[in-house]
Amino acid sequence: MRIGIIGGGAIGLLFASHLSEKHRVTLYTHTEDQASIINRDGIRLIEDGESRLLTGIISKGLDEGISGEDLLIVAVKQYHLPQVLPWINGIQVPLLFLQNGFGHISYLKRLQSPAIYLGVVEHGAMKHDGNTVEHTGLGITRIASFKGELEQLSLVNGRIDHFPFKKSEDYHSMLMDKLVVNAVINPLTAILEVENGGLITNAFYYQLFQDLFEEISDILEVRNKTESFEHVKSVCMATAENRSSMLKDLENGRRTEIDAILGHVLSEAKSKGKSDCLTSSLYRMVKGKESQGG
Amino acid sequence: MRIGIIGGGAIGLLFASHLSEKHRVTLYTHTEDQASIINRDGIRLIEDGESRLLTGIISKGLDEGISGEDLLIVAVKQYHLPQVLPWINGIQVPLLFLQNGFGHISYLKRLQSPAIYLGVVEHGAMKHDGNTVEHTGLGITRIASFKGELEQLSLVNGRIDHFPFKKSEDYHSMLMDKLVVNAVINPLTAILEVENGGLITNAFYYQLFQDLFEEISDILEVRNKTESFEHVKSVCMATAENRSSMLKDLENGRRTEIDAILGHVLSEAKSKGKSDCLTSSLYRMVKGKESQGG
């Protein structure tokens, strides 16, 4: 299959390198520079301490336009979607969106493609440079349909080593589960400057962890709170050594995904008239640190 | 006058060096080492970029006992008071306590001295080493009576350059004003890792600053909120370049005064059944960082 991936960040590079084993991959990058480096040197994938060079991948600047793909995977951050949409608005090929939160859902209705899928990435990935990505945590990619038949997406049926896909029935609950995990773990680790495991092992941080889960699960009206809490906790422990993406973003003076994550929770709280003291405080702390430039 | 000062921290060293200009000062330290360094080399005071060596000061380890003083100034942190009290319990000389918060008030009733005074230090001071202190911000020391006549405390009548004293009528409101300032500025600057001025100049931090003041002034039932808010804000701007003591304590892996400051606010909230969301969250953040050892 001919797969186009939009976005040369950690997730875009991770998907390009793994999918290139079974598919013809074109990676659409924001800058021409990154595209030419990848065309010249390939993509280096670091996995289990070993480094592999993947060459078959073609790369192009997005502004050259998109053509001849059977599937387009949109792997840019939610806040970069507005720059990408003009290129995919009228396109008829199936689309797979990998953004966090719910901010992107409102855009999807405007797209003309008959098949639109949503994905949630549970892999750990770190971009070292323009053509090097490290697979820091083996996870899965959950995929649900927003529009069209999920069965027609051959991606979820084929097998790729170290890169499993899993079907989800309901995109809303799939995105919600990921949102709750991100909304609790990311802001706390970013402000407290600890690895994910610190939220469980430090007794004071664990109280904040519980309080924030309580507030957020109440705002988002999470159905099975006990199960959801245990899920967030298990993710925290499974990734105990990891520094969350939001913590790394602040450490590197980069923009965070706080608006797609806590921003959404806050607008839900507002529309439902629910109390959001801890959520809004953490939102302001992260926005403030972000505006300091790390 | 023969003045004994208990505590060889920043405040103890600052008071010893300034008071030694007009008084016979004995500094009672926790360690014999610090006492012998001060007896050998004196105390170095850095002020306005100039360094002065003050030699006339005698220093002793506290466990040698206290004798022959006309006034005893207790300049240890609130959480070190329990170690000091056995030495001053039965003593009859006037006592001046310089701790933050209200945690020390409960101890005072047990003391036998007929004259007990309370002080609030608005100087900026940084201890460089065992016998070097920098006067980082010229302020005043407010003094009120807890027991006995304030007029009899000659300290508040005499003049010392760069070291003014001011009488306060009511110790409760004097401590309260300082508590509100500390309770708003210290935890926020410690967690956000900014200089005091950052709380005003960063729009997101200023929202947190306002929210925390609102919550704390409500819990402590501050009478004139507008005036009190402007006071906290003016302190923030007057010390814009300073890193708060709590921020410095966390940076250096030292214990903070969070229990004397937010701990008191939380117990007030509990006894009055007031909401304390932001206060308790910041308390947990600081306690958590403290337990990480900075």
Cα distance between residue B142 and residue B163, in whole Å: 11
Measured over the CA atoms of residue A193, residue A198, residue A199 and residue A201, the dihedral's sign is negative
Which of chain A's residues have a Cβ under 8 Å away from the Cβ of B288? 192, 202-205, 208
**Which residues does chain A have within 8 Å of residue B205's beta carbon, measured at their own beta carbons?**
284, 288
- B204-210's contacts with Cβ under 8 Å and 24+ in sequence apart are B204/A284, B204/A285, B204/A287, B204/A288, B204/A291, B205/A284, B205/A288, B207/A284, B208/A281, B208/A284, B208/A285, B208/A288, B208/B278, B209/B184, B209/B233, B209/B236
Task: Give the torsion sign (CA, B85, B87, B90, B94).
Answer: negative
A208 and B285 in contact by Cβ < 8 A? yes
The two tokens of residue A69 are: 């793909």
Place of tokens 């008030």: B105
SS3 call for A29: strand
Tell me the C-alpha to C-alpha distance, in Å, between residue A183 and each of A232, A264, B65.
10, 10, 56
Low-confidence ranges of chain A (pLDDT < 50): 294
pLDDT over 90 percentage in chain B: 87
- Half-sphere exposure (Cβ direction) of A123: Cα atoms closer than 13 Å: 27
Burial degree of A196 (CB within 10 A; 0-12, 13-18, 19+): buried
Please answer yes or no on whether A285 and B191 come within 8 Å at the CB atom. yes
- Looking at B252-291, list the stretches that DSSP marks H as alpha helix, in order from N- to C-terminal side: 258, 264-272, 277-291
B220-227: long-range contacts (C-beta < 8 A, 24 or more apart)?
A: B220/B176, B220/B179, B220/B180, B220/B265, B220/B268, B221/B272, B222/B176, B222/B180
Helix or strand holding residue B106 (H, E): helix B105-108
Q: Tell me the C-alpha distance between B279 and B272, whole Å.
A: 15
Note the pLDDT tens digit of each residue in A8-61.
999 999 999 999 999 999 999 999 999 999 999 999 999 999 999 999 999 999
Task: Say what angle helices A277-291 and A203-219 make with each other, to 10 degrees.
Answer: 110
The span from the CA of B279 to the CA of B285, in Å, is 10
Which of B62, B60, B68 shows the shortest CA–CA distance to B83? Answer: B62
Contact A292 B211 (CB under 8 A): no
Burial letters for A131-166: b for 16+ Cβ neighbours within 10 Å, e otherwise?
A: bbbbbbeebebbbbbbbeebeebebbeeeeeebebe
Best probe of the A interface among B280, B281, B282, B283, by most A CBs < 10 A, is B281
Instruction: Tell me how close the Cα of B249 comes to any Cα of chain A, in angstroms.
Output: 16
The chain A residues in contact with chain B (CB within 8 A) are 191-192, 194, 198, 202-205, 207-208, 211, 277-278, 281, 284-285, 287-289, 291-292
Cβ-Cβ contacts under 8 Å, A266 against chain B: none
Residue A46 tokens read as 């670091």
Measured CA to CA, the distance from residue A222 to residue A226 in angstroms comes to 10
Instruction: Please report where in the chains the tokens 């005072």 appear, as a residue.
Output: B108
B89, B65 Cβ separation under 8 angstroms? no
Tokens of A25: 């991959």
Catalytic annotation, pick one of A60, A77, A178, A289: A178
Answer whether A211 sits within 8 Å of B289, measured CB to CB.
no
Residues B32, B146: contact at Cβ < 8 Å?
A: no
Instruction: Answer yes or no: do A285 and B192 touch at CB < 8 A.
Output: yes
Q: Which residue of B lies nearest to A199 if distances are taken between CA atoms?
A: B288
Q: CA of A196, closest CA in chain B: separation in Å?
A: 14
Contact B204 A277 (CB under 8 A): no
Searching chain B, which residue's CA lies closest to the CA of residue A211? B281
Torsional sign, CA A25, A28, A32, A34: negative
pLDDT tens per residue across span B72-120 = 999 999 999 999 999 999 999 999 999 998 989 989 989 999 999 999 9
Question: Are B94 and B152 spatial neighbours (Cβ–Cβ below 8 Å)?
Answer: yes
The CA-atom distances, in angstroms, between B243 and each of A50, B154, B176, B262 are 45, 33, 22, 18
Contact flag A205-B284 (C-beta cutoff 8 Å): yes
- Coil vs helix vs strand at A186: helix
SS3 B274: coil
pLDDT at B219 (0 to 100): 98
Q: What is the mean pLDDT of chain A?
A: 94
What pLDDT is recorded for position A294?
Answer: 46
Closest CA in chain B for residue A193: B289
B147 is catalytic: no
Q: What is the ipTM of this complex?
A: 0.87
Residue B288 and residue A192: Cβ atoms within 8 Å? yes
Residue A276: CB atoms within 10 Å: 22
Residues in chain B with pLDDT < 50? Answer: 294
Q: Give residue A190's pLDDT.
A: 98
**H/E element holding A41?**
helix A32-41
B interface residues, A as partner, C-beta within 8 Å: 191-192, 194, 198, 202-205, 207-208, 211, 277-278, 281, 284-285, 287-289, 291-292
Nearest CA in chain B to A203: B288
- Confirm if B168 and A249 have CB atoms less than 8 A apart: no
Q: Measure the CA–CA gap between A229 and A48, rounded to whole angstroms.
A: 30
Nearest to A62 by CA among A113, A9, A141, A120: A9
**Chain B contact set for A281 (CB, 8 A):** 208, 211, 277-278, 281
Are the beta carbons of A204 and B288 separated by less than 8 Å?
yes
For A215, name the nearest residue in chain B, comparing CA atoms only. Answer: B277
Query: In Å, how far is A239's CA from the nearest CA of chain B?
Result: 19
Asked whether the beta carbons of B133 and B18 are under 8 A apart, the reply is no
Residue with tokens 């001053």: B88
From B77, B178, B233, B289, the catalytic residue: B178
Selected residue of B284, B289, B290 to mutate for chain A interface (largest A Cβ count, 10 A): B284
> Looking up tokens 């529009």, which residue turns up?
A147
Counting every residue, how long is chain A? 294
Which residue in A has a C-alpha nearest to residue B207's C-alpha?
A284
CA distance A100 to A81: 12
pTM assigned to the model: 0.88
Residues of B whose CB is below 8 A from A211: 281
